[in-house]
Amino acid sequence: MAPNRRQLLLGTAGAAVLAASAGAAPQAVAAPAGFPDYRYRRLALVKSKLRYNPTGELIFPTIRGTRDRIPGALAAYYLYYAPHDAPGGICLAYANTLDEEFTEYAGNPIITRSWPGEYTVSHVSSPHAMWNDDVKRMYLYFHGENTVTRLASSADGIHFSYEKEVLSTRLLPAGTTETSYARVFRHDLPSRNARYVMVFMLNNTTNRRDIGWGWSANARDWTFSQTPLVRHQDVGAVNVGGPHLLFRNNSVYVVYNTDIGSGGNILITEVGLDFSKRNHLGVFHDSLSGAPDNGRSAAPSFGTYQGREYMIYEAGDRLAGNIAIAQAI
């Protein structure tokens, strides 16, 4: 049986490929570093059913469990997502499992492009939610415009209070044009007196996107590296974005998507506990050539339900995408 696109890419990266026996279904190819392979299950949202769907495209999901965090939550899992194009708007959906269609929150959008007294922008998008155990609140990071990442917080995950700007192009080297699509994770960096790490998409006047990063003691006040964490040219891509940190093997990894012209897949790089490594491991998840990916999977978020691992991701072209659910196999 001829190897599929994922097998070819993994082989190029030096990963082992399991051969399918004659007459049998091909075996799943594990992702690098012992991570599972994920198989598409269903769409998380049916766009035609949504009350708030101003542009017909949905991006950048974040899945968060509510148990032991939010008393009286609408369901066991909250899914944050957004359209990108104007007017954008941060949205919420909820479900009791990670293998079912999510229910749209009736009050969407929960954050709009205008927050009186704070900002008025063309759009807000790319919501990343993190339950901050230090303060027992949901921290929600989002961009608007693409030059600024902002923070809001909430006790119930629905009604948010504005906090502050946390990232902007002025905090990065001259020529930086975008600092957006940020995600934040609890991770100790003792040498930097930090308890949290941020990863984000970084663009400059060359219009070639990289992965940037920063660190913080409190998830509010940040210091940012002046050099990228992952450079597009180091992994043979024109653009990389949608980063997410994963923790395994007593190490830290960043997964991120490439532009559709560079394969449209999710790649993985080991950065280590102190972020000093740059071990590019190749393809983490190979996008489906057909629906819903249509050659592009991006901006993954991860969750666990009844001991099974799930990846919730952005499927399809950025201006026509939807939110998809894949399960580890």
Question: Strand pairing partners for 271?
Answer: none
Q: Tell me, what's the pLDDT at 7? A: 36
Q: State yes or no: pLDDT of 109 exceeds 90.
A: yes
In the predicted model, is pLDDT for residue 5 greater than 70? no
Give the pLDDT score at 91. 98
Q: What is the pLDDT of residues 123-136, one digit of tens each?
A: 999 999 999 999 99
Q: What is the mean pLDDT of residues 87-115?
A: 98
pLDDT exceeds 50 at position 22: no
User: Mind listing the pLDDT tens digit for each residue in 284-302?
Assistant: 999 999 999 999 999 999 9
What pLDDT score does 121 carry?
98
| Average pLDDT across the chain, whole number | 92
- Average of pLDDT values for 177-193? 98
pLDDT digits (tens, 9 = 90+) for 203-229: 999 999 999 999 999 999 999 999 999
| HSE value, Cβ hemisphere, 13 Å, CA-based, for 276 | 5
Residue 31: pLDDT over 60 = yes
For residues 229 and 198, give the distance between their C-alpha atoms in angstroms, rounded to a whole number.
11
Q: Is the pLDDT of residue 23 over 90?
A: no
Contact 108, 123 (CB under 8 A): no
Confidence class for position 318, pLDDT limits 50, 70, 90: confident
Percentage, residues of the chain above pLDDT 70: 91
Mean pLDDT computed over 147-154: 98
* Planar angle of CA 312, 275, 265, nearest 5 degrees: 35
Alpha carbons 178 and 126: distance in angstroms, whole number: 13
| Residue 29 confidence (pLDDT) | 56
Q: Residue 319's pLDDT is what?
A: 82
**Contact between 215 and 249 (Cβ < 8 Å):** no
